[in-house]
Amino acid sequence: MQGLNRIKQLDAFPKINEDFYSRSMSGGLITILSSIAMLSLFFSELGQFLNPATRSQLLVDTSSGETIKIYLNITFPNLACSILSLDAMDVSGEQHLDVKHDIFKRRLDSIGRVLEPPKQEKIGGPQMEKPLQKHGGRLDHNETYCGSCYGAEQADEECCNTCEDVREAYRRKGWGLTNPDLIDQCKREGWLQKIKDEEGEGCNMYGTLEVNKVAGNFHFAPGKSFQQANMHVHDLLAFQKESFNVSHKIKELSFGPAFPGVVNPLDGAQRAQISPTGMYQYFVKVVPTVYTDFRGNKIQTNQFSVTEYFRPVEFGTARALPGVFFFYDLSPIKVNFDQTKTPFLHFLTNVCAIVGGVFTVSGIIDAFVYHGHKAIQKKRQLNKLS
């Protein structure tokens, strides 16, 4: 019993007899206001606890030998898929011409609807009754067809059995295909007629493009590209068109995977060509970025800023290449985003501080109001209130 009495003497919260309680209107109002303040501060602290804070840091980017994966989804409403090609090149000298790996094309009609894929045709297209051999003769029954590459073959035994084979052989030689009707393979496949039949169609190109982590460019342009006198050239004459409308809509363009809060400035951008033939140029500054969430998971990605420029070009001139060009350069500064979450004990401490602080301050205010009101009433009773 003595031990219990000693514990009772340590009570820091002595109980007041109910007979001495006195409640007031001001005390009730202060209690309501203090409760609202407690709840507001509690939900504010709870929001900070549930939503981790992000801290940014700038560092020098010392990484090397890495690659960047570009995610793209661009629609050309006035260019057919058979005309469009995608090329990529960088300052290290690496070139990827007519990129098809991980890049997909969808044909669109005049109002933007996706067309059904064409039926699969036989390899090499429809056969002529008497196709020409490499040596200029006719095909006998026991011979295997081997089409001519028209001087572009790299070896005597090389065959070009399709129009695409001939175009590829010309590209390797740095030649442009000016008149497809003079090529036996293109003529029997009806290559030029297919281009005319697709007049008015659009094309949606999407997929991923992996490039070296150095400055470079990638571009969408009509025709197959080749090198001629150290210049990047496209065989536009083969299409027998006087102009190309490169109006486009960028649904997605990002230099790496997305992370919370990322903003890609070109997403949703739409550009309509204002001249018969033109060149759209986007100058992109890529900033390497590392995002680390509160669990320690890292996302290696990039942010970018962009400026753009449209240049009308005169079709047929030496430097006239209609298309959409993206020139990108790497920033030497890397941005680190670190996500930090408030520990639960810290959150609990803040909640206790909120409750205790608001309760104490409201008690001081209530005491001040109560005793002030009592003092005023006493003076009024003694007629000392002036």
Nearby residues of 196 by Cβ (< 8 Å), 6 or more positions away:
none
* Count of CB atoms situated within 10 Å of the CB of 208: 12
pLDDT in tens, 221-249: 988 777 766 777 787 777 777 788 899 99
β-sheet bridge partners, residue 305: 285
Give the pLDDT confidence of 34-81 residue by residue, as tens digits: 888 889 998 988 888 888 778 888 999 988 888 999 999 999 999 988
Identify whether the C-beta of residue 211 lies closer than 8 Å to the C-beta of residue 67.
yes
Give the closest residue to 346 by CA, choosing from 53, 64, 49, 116: 49
- The tokens describing 283, both together, are 């100058």
Amino acid letter, 306: V
- How large a percentage of the chain has pLDDT more than 70? 84
Are residues 72 and 180 both part of a single domain?
Answer: no
Alpha-carbon distance 50 to 153, whole Å? 66
219 domain-assigned: yes
Residues 211 and 109 in one domain: yes
Could you list the residue range(s) of the whole structural domain that residue 45 is in? 22-52+342-381
List phi, psi (to 5°) of 351.
Answer: -65, -45
Any bridge partners for residue 123, and if so which? none
**Residues 124, 192: one domain?**
yes
Asked which of 168, 199, 230 is the last residue of a domain, the reply is 199
Average pLDDT over the chain, rounded to whole?
Answer: 81
pTM to 2 decimals? 0.71
* 116's tokens: 């059904």
Q: Closest Cα partner for 280 from 249, 237, 318?
A: 249
Pairing of strands 278-292, 333-340: parallel
Domain boundary among 179, 199, 219: 199
